Structure 1
Amino acid sequence: MRLQYFRFDKDRRELLSLSAARALALFLGTFSFINIVASFRLPGLDANLWWIDLRALPELPAKFFLLLSSLVLISFAVRPPQSNWRRITTVLFTGLLAAAGACNSIKFYSLMAHGTIRPAFPLPISLFILAGLILICRAASRPDFHPAQARATVRTTGLFLLCLLAFPFAQMLCFGKTDYRRPADVAVVLGARAYADGRPSDALADRVRTACQLYRDGLVKKLIFSGGPGDGSVHETESMTRMAVQLGVKPQDILTDRAGLNTQATVNNTERLFSQINARHILVVSHFYHLPRIKMAYRRDGWDVYTVPARETYLLRETPYMMAREVAAIWVYYLKPLVSHAV
């Protein structure tokens, strides 16, 4: 009886492992395929750098390899391989992707060791991707798939949906909490609530304080404050400017964008300011959960900005809500340009 239970438990673990491998393969394959097609049609929309960095290779061979890999992963997810040639093909492409993921992880820790980046969450996305690719490799190399395992579509679908939620969270924690500060021409600070009496909210104060430290450390020469109306007559950018001057920033080194009503508006407006002050190297300051979407928006317009998470005086009560909201916002930023250009 005990032996039968052990075998049943082992079968359940194997089934869950295969379902997880198929869900990951479906997510990575679909995500890669969509971005590869989009990058050919709409330059600047390739978001595959969020999960794997192949920039060490020439652009076209890297895209072709990633395109083939995405088709192999999708094929594995839809129907696990039962023939030798499909198993070998799947393991080969997944193994090469895993090798690239390992190189990405090594690079992350090398940059961290040299102080080039300062991660508060010391695990890169590439490390999770590497673990997932190893899981897929292991599942694909198995020669014996039970029919029940191949038909476990409900569990696979559920885990795929979990991937859709987990990926943006991983971006916020792994990328958003990493400090990429370095010498730059200007730092852009995105607005948050300013109270009716003109005081900055705690979130806004954290952002301004972080940017002012960059200025005092000599990393940037100018600050751009971008925001919208406050709760009262004092605009968010006015509240930010007052605080920055109190913290030692010269008024002539502050520029304001009073029409930064949302992230995309800030990106569009500050790009014009960059041209006015001949800025080429840009830092952007906001809260960690906001930074992946900001990075994405600037990159789409051809700007490779570096992000600096606001140093929080305490964990804001609204943080879980803001992170949940960003999950939806990030996917909207991914998909909206593809849909708008398709119609």
Structure 2
Amino acid sequence: MPNYKIQKRRLILVLLALMSALMLAFISTALSIYLYSSNINNKAEAAIVLGAAVWGEEPSPVFRERINHAINLYKNGDVSTIIFTGGVGDRNEPAEAIVGKNYAIAQRVKAANILIETQSRTTSQNLKNALKVGSDNQLTKFLIVSDPLHMKRAVLMARDLGMDAYPSPTPTTRYRSFHSQMEFLMRETYFYLVYLVLKI
């Protein structure tokens, strides 16, 4: 019986140590995502705008922030081309990329300087399809445009595809409240860690 109690206690200690290590890994990853801003490059050949929801014919507030940032990069001469990504969502709506293109044209971006892909539904697909579109148009250096908390995972995925890619987070975000930021951060941390595990 004493040996059983000792073994049980050791098992509990091992489990506690494992849970502590996992919690520490999660917290440190979340912090690195929150603070991520390294290697920001403000000039490239094209900006890849990662897709987000659309509301009817209009971009959602989150998507609009991304589009506006890409438009600013274009008008400032930091990129010469904008690549919009994103397909049709669950509802009968136009593709995210088409909504983004129409919005940008209305803001006086030349249609000739806009490329789109309308098949993707995930960040990974956004990047893979955008890379093909870019390669088909002899574009080799990219700025990835998305929300700040989305940047670290998106840029890692882009570079894993062999893309010469750099983060260009939106200077503003629709995730402004503490609750919405924490919810987004926890989700991003989970997906980032899952992506790292699947790579191994």
- Whether these two folds match at TM > 0.5 is yes
Q: Is 2:191 the partner of 1:329?
A: yes
**Sequence identity (%):** 24
In structure 1, distance between residues paired with 2:52 and 2:69: 14
In structure 1, distance between residues paired with 2:81 and 2:42: 14
Q: Is 2:157 the partner of 1:285?
A: no
Q: Any conservation in 2 of the 1:179–1:309 contact (CA below 8 Å)?
A: no
Q: Which residue of 2 aligns with 1:225?
A: 84
Q: Which residue of 2 aligns with 1:68?
A: none
1:311 to partner: Cα distance: 2.5
In structure 1, distance between residues paired with 2:101 and 2:39: 23
Q: Is 2:24 the partner of 1:157?
A: no
Worse overlay, 304-313 or 326-335 = 304-313
1:337 to partner: Cα distance: 2.8
* 1:1-343 equivalence runs, <5 A: 156-175=17-36, 177=37, 180-196=40-56, 198-230=57-89, 231-312=91-172, 314-316=174-176, 318-338=180-200
Q: Any conservation in 2 of the 1:195–1:232 contact (CA below 8 Å)?
A: no
Q: 1:331 to 1:205 in 2, by over 3 A?
A: same
- SS of the residue aligned with 1:328? helix
Q: Any conservation in 2 of the 1:178–1:308 contact (CA below 8 Å)?
A: no
- SS of the residue aligned with 1:290? helix
- SS of the residue aligned with 1:180? coil
- CA deviations over 1:135-194 (Å, ceiling 9, x no partner): xxxxxxxxxxxxxxxxx756643431222211321222121x568132211000001110
Relative to the length of structure 2, the TM-score reads 0.83
Q: Which runs of 5+ in 2 are unaligned?
A: 1-12
Worse overlay, 279-288 or 157-166 = 157-166
In structure 2, distance between residues paired with 1:323 and 1:293: 11
Worse overlay, 207-216 or 304-313 = 304-313
In structure 1, distance between residues paired with 2:134 and 2:145: 16
- CA deviations over 1:276-295 (Å, ceiling 9, x no partner): 12112110100112111111
- CA deviations over 1:22-59 (Å, ceiling 9, x no partner): xxxxxxxxxxxxxxxxxxxxxxxxxxxxxxxxxxxxxx
More helix by share: 1
In structure 2, distance between residues paired with 1:303 and 1:314: 28
Q: Where has structure 1 moved over 6 Å in runs of 4 or more?
A: none
Q: Any conservation in 2 of the 1:189–1:223 contact (CA below 8 Å)?
A: yes
In structure 2, distance between residues paired with 1:222 and 1:185: 6
Q: Which structure's CA Rg is the greater one?
A: 1
Q: 1:329 to 1:315 in 2, by over 3 A?
A: closer
Specify the code of the residue in structure 2 equivalent to 1:195: W
In structure 2, distance between residues paired with 1:326 and 1:236: 21
Q: Any conservation in 1 of the 2:33–2:189 contact (CA below 8 Å)?
A: no
Relative to the length of structure 1, the TM-score reads 0.50
How many residue pairs get aligned? The number is 186
Over aligned residue pairs, what C-alpha RMSD do you find? 2.2
1:261 to partner: Cα distance: 0.8
In structure 2, distance between residues paired with 1:337 and 1:158: 22
Q: Any conservation in 1 of the 2:62–2:174 contact (CA below 8 Å)?
A: no
More strand by share: 2
In structure 1, distance between residues paired with 2:45 and 2:25: 36
Q: Any conservation in 2 of the 1:190–1:227 contact (CA below 8 Å)?
A: yes
Q: 1:153 to 1:233 in 2, by over 3 A?
A: closer
Q: Which runs of 5+ in 1 are unaligned?
A: 1-151, 339-343
